[in-house]
């Protein structure tokens, strides 16, 4: 009499087959959870969303003072050092925020996970997307800084979205892996801040990649954020900071592998989340 009713079969191991369809089906929940995180983020703060800009701005000021004025590091070419640092801090802070938020996201939504069904991927992916909002604001800040220094980027800026995509994939891959581990082994709560702190030193934030000794270069290039940051500098700063194909290739490969591995591991452990969280 009615339109054919959707038939759903629940079996051990069955969830695999309907997963991607479900993900599409639950897209509205995805929007609304992301919207919730954005709305809630700066509730009950006085200056609100200004925090998204103030934090990276202060970091840029400190980096410029410490590395440029005190340690006498210089940016290549005639680029102001503040811009050189901003083009690195902005993607790095996006990665750090997205990665930490995603890693803790399942635990902070444990009530939801143990009471309602939806593809769990929505939650960490939502946190990464939420971090994009802050990221957009800091990009606007970068534009203002460029105006201040009277610096105009060239055609290379058009390729910036590709590097943003890479940063997104890296944060998602690492975040998915860590949040799945976090559900079962709470040890990783303590590992995440450490990775973020450590990552800042092994990524070219305060310095340029050319300062890395050649014999360590292959190891250094494995860091996905090296490609992202160098790419940002290349795209924003008229190519003044050279982007080596080797660096880009190796960090891009690692990013793709990380992302694929993150999704695979997350999917593998996902069905037990409700039982162990």
Partner 1 sequence: MSDAIITVENLGKCYRLQHQQERQRYVALRDVITSKVKGLFGNRQPAIDNRQSEEDFWALKDVSFEIKQGAVVGIIGRNGAGKSTLLKILSRITEPTKGRITLRGRVASLLEVGTGFHPELTGRENIFLNGAILGMSRAEVRSKFDEIVAFAEVEKFLDTPVKRYSSGMYVRLAFGVAAHLEPEILIVDEVLAVGDAEFQRKCLGKMHDISKGGRTVLFVSHNMAAMKSLTTQGIVLNNGCVVFSGSSETAIEYYTQLSMRPESRQPLKSWGRGTHTAIRAVRLLDASDRPTALYQPGRHLKLEIVFETDGTSGLSFEIFLLDAANVKVGLASLHQFHGRTLPTRPGAYTCCFNLNPLWLASGAYSMNVMTSVVNSSLDHYVESACEFEVVLSNPNGHSWDFKQSYGYGPLALLNDGDISFTPFSPSLTGANAN
By C-beta, is 34 or 160 nearer to partner 1? 34
By C-beta, is 10 or 216 nearer to partner 1? 10
Residues 6 or more apart in contact with residue 64 via CB below 8 angstroms:
81, 82, 85
Distance CA 218, CA 250 (A): 8
* Positive or negative: CA dihedral 85, 86, 91, 95: positive
Shortest reach from residue 26's CB to partner 1, in Å: 8
Shortest reach from residue 163's CB to partner 1, in Å: 33
Asked whether 151 and 76 are in contact (CB, 8 A), the reply is no
By C-beta, is 1 or 70 nearer to partner 1? 1
**Judging by beta carbons within 10 Å of its beta carbon (0-12, 13-18, 19+), is residue 178 exposed, middle or buried?**
buried
Taking CA atoms, 19 is separated from 12, 14, 23, 121, in Å, by 14, 9, 6, 10
Shortest reach from residue 134's CB to partner 1, in Å: 18
Shortest reach from residue 168's CB to partner 1, in Å: 24
By C-beta, is 22 or 244 nearer to partner 1? 22
Binding residues vs partner 1 (CB under 8 A): 5-15, 28-29, 32-33, 36, 39-40, 43-44, 111-118, 183-188, 271-272, 274-276
Residues 6 or more apart in contact with residue 172 via CB below 8 angstroms:
98, 102, 124, 125, 128, 259, 262
By C-beta, is 111 or 150 nearer to partner 1? 111
End-to-end CA distance of the chain: 43
By C-beta, is 29 or 196 nearer to partner 1? 29
Asked whether 95 and 170 are in contact (CB, 8 A), the reply is yes
Shortest reach from residue 270's CB to partner 1, in Å: 10
**Judging by beta carbons within 10 Å of its beta carbon (0-12, 13-18, 19+), is residue 75 exposed, middle or buried?**
buried
Shortest reach from residue 43's CB to partner 1, in Å: 5
By C-beta, is 28 or 78 nearer to partner 1? 28
Query: In sequence order, which ranges of 186-270 are alpha helices (DSSP H)?
Result: 188-202, 217-220, 224-236, 245-270
- Of 163, 166, 156, 142, nearest to 231 by C-alpha is 163
Shortest reach from residue 22's CB to partner 1, in Å: 9
Shortest reach from residue 101's CB to partner 1, in Å: 16
Q: Taking the CB of residue 173, how many other CB atoms lie within 10 A of it?
A: 27
By C-beta, is 184 or 246 nearer to partner 1? 184
């Amino acid at each position: 009499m009615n339109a054919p009713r959707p038939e759903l079969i629940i079996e051990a191991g069955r969830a695999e087959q309907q997963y991607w369809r479900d993900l599409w089906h639950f897209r509205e929940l995805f929007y609304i959870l992301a919207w919730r995180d954005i709305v809630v983020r700066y509730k009950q703060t006085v200056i609100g969303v200004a925090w998204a800009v103030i934090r990276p701005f202060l970091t840029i000021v400190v980096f410029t003072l410490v590395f440029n004025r005190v340690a006498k590091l210089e940016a290549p070419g005639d680029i102001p050092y503040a811009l050189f640092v901003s083009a690195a801090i902005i993607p790095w802070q996006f990665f750090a925020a997205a990665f930490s938020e995603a890693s803790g996201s399942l635990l902070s939504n444990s009530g939801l996970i143990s009471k309602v069904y939806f593809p769990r991927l929505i939650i960490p992916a939502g946190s990464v997307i939420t971090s994009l909002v802050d990221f957009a604001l800091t990009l606007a800040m970068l534009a203002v800084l460029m105006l201040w220094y009277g610096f105009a980027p060239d055609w290379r800026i058009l390729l910036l979205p590709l590097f943003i995509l890479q940063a997104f994939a890296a944060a998602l891959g690492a975040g998915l892996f860590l949040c799945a581990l976090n559900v079962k082994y709470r040890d990783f709560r303590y590992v995440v801040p450490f990775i973020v702190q450590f990552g800042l030193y092994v990524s070219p934030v305060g310095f340029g990649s050319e300062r890395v000794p050649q014999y360590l270069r292959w190891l250094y290039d494995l860091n996905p954020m090296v490609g992202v940051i160098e790419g940002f500098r290349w795209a924003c700063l008229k190519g003044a900071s050279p982007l080596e194909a080797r660096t880009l290739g190796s960090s891009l490969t690692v990013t793709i592998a990380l992302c694929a591995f993150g999704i695979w591991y997350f999917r593998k452990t996902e069905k037990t989340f409700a039982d162990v969280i």
